[in-house]
Structure 1
Amino acid sequence: MADEVKLYRTWSSPFGLRIVWALHLKGIEYDAIFEDLSNKSPELLQYNPVHKKIPILVHKGKPICESLVILEYIDETWKEVPLLPQDPYQKAMARFWAKFGEDKLLPSVWSVFSGKGVEEKKEALVPAVQNLQHLEEQLKDNKFFGGEKIGYLDIVFGWLPYLLDVFEEVIDLKLFDAAKFPLLSAWMKNFNDDPAIKPHYPPRDKLVTKFQLLHEKYQTGN
């Protein structure tokens, strides 16, 4: 009971999924509490009164919010199977690229998805592809971003392997050309194949339905 771990998440959030993967990679048992963000629970509002968002990790009754912060907390609390590099410079670089993912890559991909009409989407695709190229260059000849094992950055960018093709289907536009990004393409397969990762992906058909509805709202402005 002393090490009770609870994770407040939604079924589809890639940010909550990061925490699921980290906990499973480290072999940490936890209780998952699925939230309906249109009807937030009193516990969610109590544990995250500032942003009122998921994910929230509650450990020994203490809440930790924001997925990147939670990942670092998990890594510092349960030191087996380290996620972040041990070398200070490499750790700093991992944090830099994680911030790049949050500030640059994810918003640029989302701009393609949410753009109105084909032309706006194609215009938004240019910076998105440039950001993917930056990520491609970070892999070098490694299987994963930190080397031969899944680590912090792989978890941070883990939304790419399962959401990019969902977005492509919904908007009917190619976002990711495997021929242009051979290292990222190989990384996606390696990430997908890990037994701590793929079993926890949300059902693809449900994701397609969710994002189809969301895409229609963006296109109609309703």
Structure 2
Amino acid sequence: MAAIEEEVQLLGAVGSPFVIRVQIALKLKGIEHKYVEEKLGYLSETLLNYNPVYKMVPVLVHNGKPISESRVILEYIDEAWKQNPILPNDPYQRALDRFWSKFIDDKCVAAAWKSVFIPDEKEREKAREELFEALQFLENELKDKFFGGEEISFVDIAASFITLFQDVAEFLLFSGDKFPKLHKWSQEFYNHPVVKEIMPTKEQQHGFFKARAASIAAANKAAASK
């Protein structure tokens, strides 16, 4: 096991909620790895070679083989290292975890990003309505301390984006009145020893989102000028 662990690298960026997903999974599994910091807008040739399709972090490199996209990486980690599983053994429950993690990315993450960073005010408001509608589904789905019961699971790790995004979007700050179960979950999740050790500072979080927004704006400008 030790020899394998020494050949694990994670290419990431401080403050990236998608990189943080992978860091949480690696920490929960107890997997030693080398972290390589990438700068948004100035990605290294190594990263571009490992992820030429999306050109984004995170990228996990295991024994020289790269894996991209955070949810894909999480599943790979769970299959490659059996200790402390983050996905349930039951096939139906595994399917449900995959469904809700995809829902989080397709509905929550997409709407959250638009609700803050798109220029048009009406479109931002529309995105916020979509976000709150999606969060209500998660509120209804949450039955226990975590989505996985008493322990952090695949869905909790995917939903870490929500906890992080509250640092840059005050309108999303949960209260006991609005989304009470998600409010309690976000506190339990953030204060989990493993998660708390990995979470970035608010300054780092703001820095990442600012850099990401600038990167997207530059790409859109370049595309429009062609």
Q: TM-score range by the shorter chain?
A: 0.7 to 0.9
How far residue 212 of structure 1 moved from its aligned partner, in angstroms, is 5.7
Residue 224 of structure 2: aligned partner: none
Q: Name 1:81's counterpart in structure 2.
A: 84
The CA RMSD over aligned residues, in Å, is 2.1
For structure 1, the residue ranges without an aligned partner over 5 or more in a row are 169-173
Query: Hey, what does 2:72 align to over in structure 1?
Result: 69
Letter in 1 for 2:48: L
- Aligned partner of residue 184 in structure 1, secondary structure: helix
Cα distance between partner residues in 1 of 2:16 and 2:207: 14
TM-score by length of 2: 0.86
Q: CA deviation at 1:211?
A: 4.1
Amino acid at match of 1:5: V
Aligned to 2:172: 175
Cα distance in 2 for partners of 1:119, 1:36 equals: 32
CA contact (8 A) 2:17 2:161 kept: yes
> Which runs of structure 2 are paired with 1:15-164 in the superposition (5 Å)?
15-116=18-119, 118-140=121-143, 142-164=144-166
Select 1:7's aligned residue among 1, 6, 10: 10
Q: How many residues align?
A: 213
2:192 counterpart residue number: 194
Contact persistence 1:2–1:60 (CA under 8 A): no
Query: Deviation per CA, 1:2-56, whole angstroms, max 9, x where unpaired?
Result: 4111000011211111110000001110000001132221211221122221111
Tell me the distance in 1 between the aligned counterparts of 2:208 and 2:56. Answer: 19
| SS of residue paired to 2:168 | helix
Distance 2:191 2:114 in 1: 29
Q: CA deviation at 1:126?
A: 1.3
Could you tell me which runs of 5 or more consecutive residues in structure 2 were left unpaired when the two chains were aligned. Answer: 222-226
| Alpha-carbon distance in structure 2 between the residues aligned to 1:79 and 1:211 | 33
